[in-house]
Structure 1
Amino acid sequence: MEEGRLDEVHNVHKDMEALALQKLAEMEHAGNLSDYNLTREDFGLSNTTMTLLHSVLTEMQSLLAQINASHLADEQLLLDLAEGFAQCNSDLSSRQLQSQNLSTLVSGASSSHDACRTTEQTLSGQNGTAWLNYLGKGTEALPQDVRNCMQAYLDGYNPQTAEHLQAMIDCAATISSFFGSFEPSMGTLKDTYFSSLHAVNNQSEDCRVEQSTLESHFCEYRQQLTDSCDAIDTCYQNVNQTWLQLLATIAASDSRREASYTAAKKVICYIQLLQSNLTQAAVQACQDLVVDTSGLAVHIPDPAAKQVCDSSPVADFPCEPAWVQSEYLNKSWYKDPPQIAPDTCISCAARTSTTTTTAPQALANLAAFERGTCAIVESANVPSKVWCVGSSVYGAQAGNKVDLGQGRTATALASQASGNHVCALLDNEETKCWGDNRRGPLGLGDDANRGTGWPVTGMGDVLPAVDVGSNRKVVKLMAGHHFTCAILDDQSVKCWGFSDAGQLGFSPNAVSGGYGNNNDEAGDAPDEMGDNLPTVDLAGNPALDGDAGTQSACAIVQHPTDGRQLTCWGRNWEGQLGRGSVIGDTKSAPTYVPIDLGTDLHAVQVSVGYRSACALLNTGAVKCWGVNDFGQLGRGQPSSVTPNVGRQPEDMGDGLPVVDLGTNAGTPRKAIYIAHGAWHVCAILEGGGLKCWGRNHLGGAHPQLFPSQPNIGDFPNEMGDNLPFIDLGVGRTAVKVAAGRDHTCARLDDDTFKCWSGFVNRFYWQSLSDYDL
């Protein structure tokens, strides 16, 4: 009720008391105190005054009723607000039910992942056994009689008699009998090995999905539970703040109501005696009137206590050491042989901030060549969905809107930072390449460029698909400089194009019996592709991923007993093969030599540049080796101190330092994707932030640091926390990055693009988003 009205009653009380005392004094002066039966006329009160007094009496009675109603209303306010505390708890209960459902999903996903990895371990063991059987059969000693017969043939038979001729026949029969059974036996063992290998690889892919599902569900569970605890804290804090304010207001109202209620009661007392019997005793009784205000005391209910929200189940979460230890490293499939290593963990922060949660092949929608970039843009007004910008000298740009044939769309792209050709996987599982074909990297049996001129020639339906062999298809493309490699569906690797340093994994002009036009190139002449093209010798290990650079290529393989290994082949003058060896190239050296990346470390992604390479490790760290002329190894040392890394044994293994990507709350930052340009490297970190280092010619690596730092990473204090993130725009994060010769493009979380470089000709580096897609 209105405070003014409560305050006014005190004035009325004073007036009534003064009026009663005045009339009492007048009566005493008149000597009428002995008459106790006086009427109002004896008081000298007019009819008008008496009417007014009656009106005031009515008003006071109404006021009393309102004061009672006001106190009851305040009690109701408290009751209603007390319900707010209960509602906070009720909301938490609802949220906790959702959290429990997610917890159940997490438990199921964890069990599913464990079961998947256990099966993978079993299959891996079977594959290891199959390999040993296959290898053992192939290396077992020949029976003595077969060896004797073969040696006799090698020594040269000189039959003189029929017995000699019969001995020859018998030897031939012995040899024929042995190899007649050896060949099908080896065939069976081979089939068993590759069958078990496919089973392991298929299981591994299934487990990768299971792991991602587990981590994703746990992050959702953590977010839900954390939000629930934050919500009840906020809810309770807000309600309690209002509660305390209301209590203070009611306390003040209580005091005012009680005083006003007492004053109103006394007003009524004075009016009643003025209307009937005005005496000293009556006046004194009104003055001394004690009013019972106990009924006006507001009852304060006890609010419900805040329900406990336990967030301890998500105190450890994906990628945190304790969580990884519990979910992965303590499991029998990791601790017991054959060890099954989990895939790279994707943190909750990265899952929240970016969509980069899939395998590198699924991210092959952006590719940079020497002076341009191609992207798959689903919303583009281009039938193939491939849009290219940049130099059109050799045809890599292919007229911007790339025509891959009627009804054909691209699913993945590949190009190389110092190259000028692009390859695409199509929706019909074919492969097409265009651009610079001077050394046969397009794999079309000639050396004619495709995609040049205006209008563009050699594209669309007239652009042939690359022939990689009977019943074979490409699952991963790796474009190098003047050459191309591909991982096939049987997890073998084939390379074609230029092989001056052994980067094809074989020497085309040294193949037994001749090969095509017998030069250092494969794929530039008829009959050099398809089944005639050899596979890279990876010692029988299936390839999982890889990349190609200027004169070298690398592959991540699955060894049956040692797990994932990284191997590189081609040029090694700068140590880019990471072998700890001074060999110049692999033209006459094995293609398969595992790289030592350090204790318990293996590569989950590799990216190759001009004459250096980097690997993203299972820990989220990055290591680089090879030439260091522009700081691209990120070691904070000039080339005069560290010119080449990887040619000495001590350069590699635990002696090879990780790139300092900075810290977050004192913890080293982790990378989730890397891209090596010609002479600079970029890494997307957890959370979607992007850092680049190396040659910064006109700002091609890091525009914010140009011109103050033409190179980044070649001197101390240029890496780590001193290396700022690339400014991608407010709230924007990177989901893919591609680096060219001196430009960089990033695909952002809102599916737009940002590119930067210092090339004067804008079409070399222009943002893909600037075009009408």
Structure 2
Amino acid sequence: MPDGLTLNDDGTLSGTPTADGTATFQVMARYKSKSGQQTYQVVSLSLRVTLLAMPLPDAVAGTAYSGFDFRPQVSVAGDDAYDDTLVEFSASNLPDGMSLTNGVLSGTPKTKNAPDGSSFQVIASYRGAKGQQTYTILVNGQPLDVVKISSGFAHTCAVTPSGGAKCWGTNTMGQLGNGSTTQSNVPVDVFDLTSGVASISSGAYHTCATSTSGGAKCWGYNKNGQLGNNSTTSSLVPVNVSGLSSGVASISAGYYHTCVRTTSGGAKCWGSNGNGQVGNNAVADAKTPAAVSGLSSGVASIAAGSSHTCAITTSGGAMCWGGNGYGQLGNNSATDSKVPVDVAGLTAGAEGIATGFGHTCASTTSGGAKCWGWNAFGQLGNNGTTDSKVPANVSGLAAGVASITTGYGHSCVVTSAGGLQCWGTNTEGQLGNGGTAQSTVPVIVTGLTGGVASISAGYYHTCALTSTSAAKCWGSNTNGQLGNNSTTRSTVPVDALSN
């Protein structure tokens, strides 16, 4: 007889088996002077309760969780008449604000958790038997609302609707401006800039912003004087740019230099100047703003790149200066220039301009896109990989372009319909089309065929601002530059999250 079972005098077999297994036993029945015997087998199976392991949908802090039902994840062995209504659930270490009721995980998590989520235990009980499983849930922050966005080497910064400055990503040089050098995978406030910010620009390892009163501040790496405060000491918090407490219309942070357009239409630059990118007819670094030769007025916009700078004049002309090893000045030459030179074929009709590592792109008043310079990855968008010293038309974009941006080896445009297209290198998914293959012609960014207000390409990542003030980023995320509480790259746009 199996341990735990008893054959009662009335002929019933009862009890609780103490172990699994098959037991053979004999039963003898007597009636008056006669008896009969039979051999039986009984298979004893103890109840086993199992909870299946599986990933859970992400949650968002401050938002009701849609609910995850653990009941279908329970399996019971040893009961042919299993009744799932008898299963009871309990949990431990749930995120604050969440609960498990009748097997359903729900509630509103109060705060975001670690980048890799937090673990909790669920226990399912059925007729005295229990099963346990550990699950992990990621609680993200709320999507970040912004009105301006700028991508740097491996960090990103934005201006909020209330005029505050927030940054995220790598912080080795203090480029996040929050007084530390600790990387952040979600946006953090820039010290003392929680209001009054008009615009922001992310460089390689420094960041600059303009105030609503027309002042300029910079922070981060300062070896070449790119902070403009007459120093070469880096700063973990914003410092005032010398002589620019007012009168600044826009600012552009390049690799190791910075430029502004003044409210009077002049151009000033400072920082690294080894290739003449400051534009003051010199090659010595400038620790304070220097006037760009010949551009004391008439400047409509300015863009600082890696070792060159470009501007659009109020008459629609494009001018560039600085490094020209790839032909990025667009003047049909490969010779550096310490002063502005005209871009061939764009002395009029240029509307916007963007400077990358070794290439430049412009949008025209007719809605076209043109690029020139380095083209190893197809970043000129002309269906080739040959460098060009003069502007080349971007394939398929003769019209309908609203704005343009350039990264290290890729370029992107916002169309007049509010869509996004990118081209060039795509090793980290920076084109946003769900893949990693480079493209020498524009491809559509997944999920952003409309509703895009602006675009900013970083070194290996890209960010966009939607018409609903959402910040979306994609590409490399090694340093948290996508701002989605993760360090995993994304080949499609993801929301940057509030802190």
* AA of the residue aligned to 2:408: A
Structure 2 CA distance, aligned partners of 1:724 and 1:576?
23
**Would you say the 8 A contact 2:265–2:296 is kept in 1?**
no
Aligned to 2:152: 369
Aligned to 1:689: 419
1:438, CA displacement in angstroms? 1.6
**Would you say the 8 A contact 1:703–1:756 is kept in 2?**
no
Is residue 623 from structure 1 mapped to residue 370 from structure 2 by the alignment? yes
SS for the counterpart of 1:496 is strand
1:691, CA displacement in angstroms? 0.5
1:740, CA displacement in angstroms? 0.6
TM-score normalised according to structure 1 size: 0.41
TM-score normalised according to structure 2 size: 0.63
Q: For residues 286-365 of structure 1, what are the structure 2 equivalents within 5 Å?
A: 365=148
Aligned to 1:604: 351
**Would you say the 8 A contact 1:499–1:521 is kept in 2?**
yes
Q: Which has the higher helix share?
A: 1
Q: For residues 65-464 of structure 1, what are the structure 2 equivalents within 5 Å?
A: 365-378=148-161, 385-399=164-178, 400-405=187-192, 408-416=195-203, 419-451=204-236, 459=237, 463-464=238-239
Q: For residues 540-619 of structure 1, what are the structure 2 equivalents within 5 Å?
A: 541-558=297-314, 563-583=315-335, 585-587=336-338, 591-597=339-345, 602-619=349-366
Structure 1 CA distance, aligned partners of 2:188 and 2:416?
33
Aligned to 1:468: 243
Identity of aligned residues (%): 27
User: Over residues 42-74 of structure 1, what are the superposed CA-to-partner deviations in whole Å (9 max), with x where a residue is unaligned?
Assistant: xxxxxxxxxxxxxxxxxxxxxxxxxxxxxxxxx
* AA of the residue aligned to 1:401: V
Structure 2 CA distance, aligned partners of 1:437 and 1:619?
39
For the structure 1 residues 364 and 557, does the alpha-carbon distance in structure 2 shift closer, same or farther, using more than 3 Å as the test? farther
**Would you say the 8 A contact 1:703–1:757 is kept in 2?**
no
Is residue 493 from structure 1 mapped to residue 212 from structure 2 by the alignment? no
SS for the counterpart of 2:310 is strand
Is residue 772 from structure 1 mapped to residue 498 from structure 2 by the alignment? yes
**Would you say the 8 A contact 2:267–2:297 is kept in 1?**
no
Structure ID, larger Rg = 1
Aligned to 2:434: 704
1:601, CA displacement in angstroms? 5.0
1:557, CA displacement in angstroms? 1.6
For the structure 1 residues 732 and 481, does the alpha-carbon distance in structure 2 shift closer, same or farther, using more than 3 Å as the test? same
Structure 1 CA distance, aligned partners of 2:481 and 2:252?
22
**Would you say the 8 A contact 1:578–1:626 is kept in 2?**
yes
Q: Aligned residues, how many? A: 337
**Would you say the 8 A contact 1:601–1:619 is kept in 2?**
no
1:372, CA displacement in angstroms? 1.5
User: Over residues 508-533 of structure 1, what are the superposed CA-to-partner deviations in whole Å (9 max), with x where a residue is unaligned?
Assistant: 67xxxxxxxxxx3211xxxxx3xxx5
Task: Could you tell me which runs of 5 or more consecutive residues in structure 1 were left unpaired when the two chains were aligned.
Answer: 1-362, 452-458, 510-519, 524-528, 647-651, 663-667, 714-718
For the structure 1 residues 402 and 543, does the alpha-carbon distance in structure 2 shift closer, same or farther, using more than 3 Å as the test? same
**Would you say the 8 A contact 1:364–1:413 is kept in 2?**
no
1:602, CA displacement in angstroms? 1.8
Is residue 725 from structure 1 mapped to residue 444 from structure 2 by the alignment? yes
* AA of the residue aligned to 1:522: A
RMSD: 2.4
**Would you say the 8 A contact 2:225–2:272 is kept in 1?**
yes
For the structure 1 residues 550 and 432, does the alpha-carbon distance in structure 2 shift closer, same or farther, using more than 3 Å as the test? same
SS for the counterpart of 1:464 is strand
1:744, CA displacement in angstroms? 0.7
1:698, CA displacement in angstroms? 2.1
SS for the counterpart of 2:434 is helix
1:433, CA displacement in angstroms? 0.5
Q: Which has the higher strand share?
A: 2
Is residue 734 from structure 1 mapped to residue 452 from structure 2 by the alignment? yes
Structure 1 CA distance, aligned partners of 2:263 and 2:313?
14
Is residue 756 from structure 1 mapped to residue 468 from structure 2 by the alignment? no
**Would you say the 8 A contact 1:565–1:602 is kept in 2?**
yes
**Would you say the 8 A contact 1:371–1:765 is kept in 2?**
no
Structure 2 CA distance, aligned partners of 1:659 and 1:548?
21
1:754, CA displacement in angstroms? 1.5
* AA of the residue aligned to 1:592: P
1:610, CA displacement in angstroms? 0.2
Aligned to 1:645: 388
**Would you say the 8 A contact 1:375–1:387 is kept in 2?**
yes
* AA of the residue aligned to 1:430: G
SS for the counterpart of 1:704 is coil
Structure 2 CA distance, aligned partners of 1:433 and 1:540?
22
